[in-house]
A and B are shown apart, each in its own frame.
Chain A
């Protein structure tokens, strides 16, 4: 693998926002997720649970409910009182309609996805009709006192059950009247505390399932107004509830971070009578689980500890394999760190500000595993706060470190950074050309002379950077057959000749920068691209897909390279394909043209194309065993994948120069200590 001096960076203070809402797309295989800071993300199940779309948040936007409706449209509503439709092609909030009832606590779409019901702060349930281009207010249902905290449609669309404080109501949709009102805290002696119904579900058999703040999951018969079953699962509140499509399984999430599964099981073997039984307890989270969803094969939960946990159900899986494994996602599937190699600078992207740091330096040398003393500490040079309430989409720093750019939903900023001795000055570049905002990805060329801006509808803008501090629009590339989706990944060749761009439709287009023409398109693959890079010497495009496949495409020859064909023929190692997180960054070593450096959240790998590929019987992570072997034995067991798992969780890894690496880690404990307070766990003997 070689000897490297590693700059181990742990001062990136990223704290991901907690998960607030989850919504499974019916019959689509996608999951929409909303965070507490207003960001909305879409995960694609088929593409190995890749986070394919991210809409950054907004200071004033709080999302309390998310709904998929007919035509794969995504709607969100929150405490701001607006119903917002999210444009998933342009990755922004498309338009919003004021609900008219104050803050909106809950929203639900009916079975056919044509009507939206919202539960408001003033106690009213309002119905909206979904029309092409937006939504239209239809009517109000009967309004009573008490905020409506949760809503559920009956699968047939005739009734709506709504949970409020101390009471649960059932409305008849046609007449709009309240047909049943059930007091929820009737049996509790502790009448001083009010019983909040946090979530509700309406089953087609006429049973209403509620979860409340006393830690109970209760099943009601709405017509008679009686309690059928009551299960106390926790001493703290049960915050969320989701029912499977077949209505035989329910998942509930509690404030302590535990999730439970309820299943409808026959009382005796073969008997027709069925009862709800609490079957599986899970403790995947440390903080409140405020969102749960039930897909056809998995239980999905998202907590305020920023984790998304997908637990496939074994009884639904055909075979035991990697499909049935527990998946936990805490970090985004994109790069949040940019590195200026020559200037040894790192740019950290937070949701509302950027930080520019200079790495420290050391004089000492040492052996493998030693920690060298620092001669100069890493310095925090610049902190740039983004103006306005919008969160940052993307940011980048040029390789020489003198240009900095970032984009929010409606603003694009370019800065010139000057270093005079010990001081740093940042000056905004005025008169930036007007582009269609937002920019989804920014990339500087290797000579810091141009800036590439990824935009909507598959287009990429080329801006020329002028000294001493100016910018000019040179050209806009568009894919030959237009594309409705936005470009989310860019790669530039070191000689400034080629540009590769990937859009939301997963098609990779390569453009010629010398004559400003489209060069070719990489053959489409059935999975999303997670990382892209162009080799400085051979101009080969290395592509990493979300199903952990690796391809190498030769740009001048417009075809896959021989090495890539060999990899596809032999197949990648099973352990490599069963990794949990996607590769987010690919880079190269200019001194060693056959090396490819990649990393994901849990490993860093140097891929040596000149060595043979491992087959499934060989050990993939064999670096530690190789170290102990004598030289001759080592030669026999060497293979192309040299993996290091010492630095975890890894947010970014890059090669600074010949034998210097930088690794940006984010220990999970550092995140957990900055989250909101968890519920106390009493353990015997402590």
Chain B
């Protein structure tokens, strides 16, 4: 109740004609007659209100943005070293900086070369030590290759071989291991034999190790006994 009264009072202060804001009387009556000028004024004020609201909204956003930018600038400034140190570094060996840039360049190329190396065939490799002459560089896990040795031909050939491999041995080709294949004959023969199984050296590792340890101990006791 109080809210509605306040709103009505606020509306009254702005001053749209009371006629427009008056609550509708009964539905039987015809709409009220309003003159053109009155209507025009009403529309104008309405427009002004909306425009003002939009302007205020825009101002608010701008203010927010400005505040955020300042905050970031502040944070960035906090991260960097103090001005004095930066200036000192900038002045100090420009040669060192160039070497760094060159190393970064070579590193990029090497990265590309290494990627190609994976796809190409075995190529000659330049020894890592040969390159270590110029500029200090950190020890890294990389492979130096000659770009001349990497060729497009190797890549095409590898793609062709991969295609052939997938078509003949890829999924959907129903391939089977050799022992299963050759066991079929053993199973279907008139004299049935066991399936073909390939000896795996890792079978019975524990037993083998225990046997070896026992053998060592036993030999030691034998030697001791015979020695004594």
Contacts and interface: CB of A to CB of B under 8 A. Distances in A.
Contacts of A679: 173-176
B214 interface: no
A424 interface: no
Interface in A628-686: 669, 672-673, 675-681, 683, 685-686
A461 to B, nearest CB: 33
Contacts of A102: 153, 156, 160
Given A79-B161, A236-B173, A686-B187, A680 B180 contact: yes
A503 interface: no
Contacts of B172: 193
Interface in B164-203: 167-169, 172-182, 184, 187-188, 198
Contacts of B173: 236-237, 255, 679
Interface in A240-268: 255
Contacts of B167: 196, 213, 237
A317 B160 CA distance: 42
A121 interface: yes
A81 interface: yes
- Residue with the highest number of chain B CB atoms closer than 10 Å, among A79, A121, A286, A675: A79
Contacts of A103: 156-157, 160
Nearest to B174: A680
Contacts of B184: 681, 683, 686
Contact of A677 (B163, B169, B198): B169
A673 B182 contact: yes
A419 B156 CA distance: 48
Task: Please tell me the size bucket of the interface on A.
Answer: 20 to 34
Interface string B53-69: 00000000000000000
Contact of B178 (A79, A236, A672): A672
A685 B161 CA distance: 37
A463 B50 CA distance: 110
A80 B153 contact: yes
A673 B156 contact: no
Contact of A678 (B121, B153, B156, B176): B176
Nearest to B156: A102
Contacts of A255: 168, 173
A523 B167 CA distance: 54
Task: Please tell me the size bucket of the interface on B.
Answer: 20 to 34
B124 to A, nearest CB: 12
A288 interface: yes
B150 to A, nearest CB: 15
Per DSSP, chain A at the interface is: loop
A60 B176 CA distance: 29
A570 to B, nearest CB: 43
Given A80-B157, A102-B156, A676 B187 contact: no
- Residue with the highest number of chain A CB atoms closer than 10 Å, among B160, B173, B178: B160
Contacts of B157: 62, 79-81, 103
B168 A669 contact: no
Interface string A63-90: 0000000000000000111000000000
- Residue with the highest number of chain B CB atoms closer than 10 Å, among A60, A103, A237: A103
A678 B178 contact: yes
A683 B174 contact: no
B153 A673 contact: no
Nearest to A684: B188
Interface in B196-214: 198
Given A103-B157, A121-B156, A686-B187, A673 B179 contact: yes
A680 B181 contact: yes
A193 B187 CA distance: 34
A286 B174 contact: no
A279 B225 CA distance: 80
Contacts of B187: 683, 686
A211 to B, nearest CB: 14
A80 B155 CA distance: 10
A386 to B, nearest CB: 15
A672 B169 CA distance: 17
Contacts of A677: 169, 175-178
A267 to B, nearest CB: 35
- Residue with the highest number of chain A CB atoms closer than 10 Å, among B121, B161, B163, B182: B163
Contacts of B169: 676-677
Given A236-B174, A669-B182, A683-B188, 9 more contacts: A62-B161, A79-B160, A102-B160, A237-B173, A679-B176, A680-B176, A683-B184, A683-B187, A686-B188
23 contacts: A60-B121, A79-B157, A79-B160, A80-B153, A80-B157, A81-B153, A102-B153, A103-B157, A105-B160, A147-B160, A236-B173, A236-B174, A669-B182, A672-B178, A676-B169, A678-B175, A678-B181, A679-B173, A679-B175, A680-B174, A680-B175, A681-B181, A685-B188
Interface of B: 121, 153, 156-157, 159-161, 163, 167-169, 172-182, 184, 187-188, 198
